Structure 1
């Protein structure tokens, strides 16, 4: 039986806030609310820095890598809009968003723990699918969870804590195999007994523990606002909740996209084609083209992949710092100019790898990519926020995320042929190709025209839109003005 607002508060680390007024959070409560982001990003950081190398350890060739990665974007195409809508109309003993956080955390921890035991490419691809699906199940409602609970005047502070958590998780996860090898003398060489190096194996075990423990901590310590009326919520569930209604809502939104959103879709398409090329091919490219490894069994291969992890740690650290500067830059120039310049920095970094042959110079190149990464995770959403109506913000944001996964699917389907017949298995040139895509995205950004919405009726989805949904106490979104919104999270598949 659910507690009503008049019942005594549930005994947790944070009392359930008033139904009508959002209470301010203390510093400890902000930490408790956001610590789960550290775990999610730790899991994603391990995935980005190590999955291509794991596939190659299991016998994959360069042109096979894209199709092995395809499960991740395909999963995001379905999971992101559907889970977001389902969580809007859920309430149970754990609340509204927390059931999804917990289920996603358990499944992701299972995938991380099993990954080092993969013996075939099919098994590794299946676990990558499970990991990415589970992380999305946790992440999509998590974004709304923060917006539901924080009062507006604390959102800047809340998203700053979130940015630090995300950055810390990504940096530590990316560098951890290198730390185990150089700090604790753990073997980083693959063998017959260990197809996947022990450094990577232990990193994934730790990732499973960190992912699940941080999510559980947030679930236990941070309760949610209860609905004023369960009957009203159940009626809204029947009208707009469920899988079928979620798909219908998404289709209506696709047909009603404003012009600015359509322009941004092209920017996103080329941006994420470039980013996906980087994530797929950068670690093996460093191992083979920079360190000179000729096979996965070579010590140079493991050293190169570990160094690629350090490079990922560098660009993630740069990303955290730059994310706090982007609102100031956008205010002085414009969001379009700021985003275009940042993408140009990323393009220059990836294109420069044509001539880079020194591993330390590679770290410097990561600064530019970190600038682009920070902007890609925030500025397109800042440009979008003013052109969609508040009451339809959730579904439009879900649709916008589709333009992240569609280019990844395009790369996964087409890059194998390009690698085999045009680039001749040259992994470094695939990374450079990503720089070309970022260059195109930078140019398209300057063509975006932001036309603010004047009335919600302009983008009606032909569904009832009450002035205020009495069944849901909290706002359904976590949207902020560009001056406040500072997300540094993997808006991925």
Structure 2
């Protein structure tokens, strides 16, 4: 049977029930719960341990570096795995275990650092920082180990059916939103440590204890959503990828050579899209605490207090982002049909992202002007808070497209070419990780060049979002975008 005949046969005989796709897609909620805590709480936390704002951006290099190395290797290996447990499940289980270890290491970094000799009277806690960084690296590696096989599992269950692939990626995006909402909601609580009072110690203050409590909750939630699909959803038999004995790097080289023009264009648009996103992802809650609320993580007690208030307000804003993301994830497919295809949808929402990033400038300037007439440590006015939260909510619209459209297209392209879903999605991740590395390297010096703060990187992201929107509208092939 030819490749085309096989795809036609599999599409017509597809019997995968939707509940199985939903069950596997729900893994995204567990991963994203921890990712939400990571995004909202860890940049402020590492600054509380004594790392400067400029240097904190370098810690985020571990995410893209691990993504570049781990996702293609995991994708390649899972495509060819002959484990009796399945191709994808062993990787999902291993990654989940590593996530649990990583978040415990991060959450207890201050306590462990103090036990190993950190002086609590000093600004920088070097041992706690070292443990934090190790945990951060393990966490990002583990997230990549889980996420790529989970998406590949969904592609396997879709069995070359493009409509089901779009639906599966839509559900994956929806559950990412669910995980975000829960993670940001827990992260925004002012005294979550009271549920687990033992988390507050001499070396771990209220903010640290809250973070520790959140990560313990994360472990419980992650295990709940991962264990169910691992036990009740059987993996389909491999259909198109076989162990041909070709070494990994040779296979990657061949895959790059055989990538069609649509995939290269998809890489390019995705790269500019993530140059736009990553500054905001790294520093959104820090922006609220530092520039909207006027606090400082290493300032006076009043400045620390108001900074913490701003970080929690930013977590609330990210929860609104996630709520919008969840709604838009269910609407992205009908919206694409209404706008004439994924190309137009992706292009339009990139302009929405650009507008949101650019609007951080007037909101920040308004907050700064208002603070001149207020006593130190006073939170911003309700109108500035509302504008900030509205901006966060709006970013959920383009985020829904970012989390679904490129991955759906990549699954379609790999399915059409007969390539393995795992390796193809791993290569797709390079278009995300390389821009993240670039942003991590330049955002600190770039912000410092313009006087510090987060606005320079945000405005750079706004310009990149405009470029990404233009490219999506003009060079993504219409036939592929409408597939």
1:402-481 paired onto structure 2 within 5 Å = 402-420=430-448, 422-450=449-477
Q: Is the 8 A contact 2:317 2:393 kept in 1?
A: no
What is the aligned partner in structure 2 of residue 475 from structure 1? none
Alpha-carbon shift at residue 328 of structure 1 (Å): 2.6
Q: How far 1:382 moved relative to its partner? A: 4.7
Q: How far apart are 1:82 and its partner, in Å?
A: 1.3
Counterpart of 1:170 in structure 2 is 180
- Per the TM alignment, residue 423 of structure 1 is displaced from its structure 2 partner at its CA by 2.4
Give the CA deviation at 1:447: 2.8
Aligned equivalents of 2:216, 2:288: Cα separation in 1: 25
TM-score (norm: length of structure 2): 0.79
The alpha-carbon deviation at position 261 of structure 1 amounts to 2.9
Asked if 1:108 corresponds to 2:93, the answer is: no
Going from structure 1 to structure 2, the CA distance change for 1:418 and 1:150 (only over 3 Å counts) comes to: closer
Q: In structure 2, what is the equivalent of residue 41 of structure 1?
A: 32
Correspondence 1:310 to 2:321 = no
Q: Does the aligned pair in 2 maintain the 1:25–1:150 contact within 8 Å?
A: no
In the TM superposition, what whole-angstrom CA distance separates every residue of 1:152-173 from its partner, at most 9, and x where no partner exists?
Answer: 5866665555444322111110
Change in Cα spacing, 1:266 to 1:25, as seen in structure 2 (3 Å) is: closer
Deviations 1:376-430 (A, max 9, x none): 122334555665643026344332221100001111122222122x122212443
Structure 2 CA distance for aligned equivalents of residues 105 and 438 of structure 1: 33
Q: Figure out how many residues of one structure are paired with residues of the other and give that number.
A: 426
Equivalent residue in structure 1 for 2:90, among 86, 96, 99: 99
Q: Runs of 5+ in structure 2 lacking a partner?
A: 1-11, 111-127, 368-383
Q: Verify: 1:214 aligned to 2:225, yes or no.
A: yes
Choose from 111, 136, 143 the match for 1:128. Answer: 136
Q: Does residue 1:66 correspond to 2:53, yes or no? A: no
Q: CA deviation at 1:334?
A: 3.5
Distance in 2, matches of 1:387 and 1:308, equals 37
Paired position in structure 1 for 2:214: 203
The one-character-per-residue Cα deviations of 1:440-475 (angstroms, maximum 9, x if unpaired) are 22222233141769xxxxxxxxxxxxxxxxxxxxxx
| Residue deviations 1:174-202 (CA, integer Å, cap 9, x gap) | 12122353896999x99962155322111
- Cα distance in 1 for residues equivalent to 2:201 and 2:295: 16
Matches of 1:87 and 1:111 in 2, distance apart?
A: 23
Q: How does 1:183-194 map to 2 (within 5 A)?
A: 193-194=203-204
- Which of 345, 348, 355 is matched with 2:352 structurally? 345
Conserved in 2, the CA contact under 8 Å of 1:42 and 1:169? Answer: yes
Report what 1:327 is aligned to.
333
8 A contact 1:110–1:208 mirrored in 2: no
- CA displacement, residues 92-117 of structure 1 (integer Å, 9 cap, x when unaligned): 23222111111000010111122112
Is 1:267 matched up with 2:281? Answer: no
Query: Which residue pairs with 2:255 in the alignment?
Result: 253
RMSD over aligned CA atoms reads 3.1
Per the alignment, in what secondary structure is the counterpart of residue 350 of structure 1?
A: helix
- Structure 1 counterpart SS, 2:243: helix
1:355 is the counterpart of 2:362: yes
Q: Tell me: CA distance 1:419–1:186, structure 2 relative to 1, closer, same or farther (3 Å).
A: farther
- Cα distance in 1 for partners of 2:238, 2:475 equals 40
> Within 2, Cα distance between the matches of 1:191 and 1:426?
31
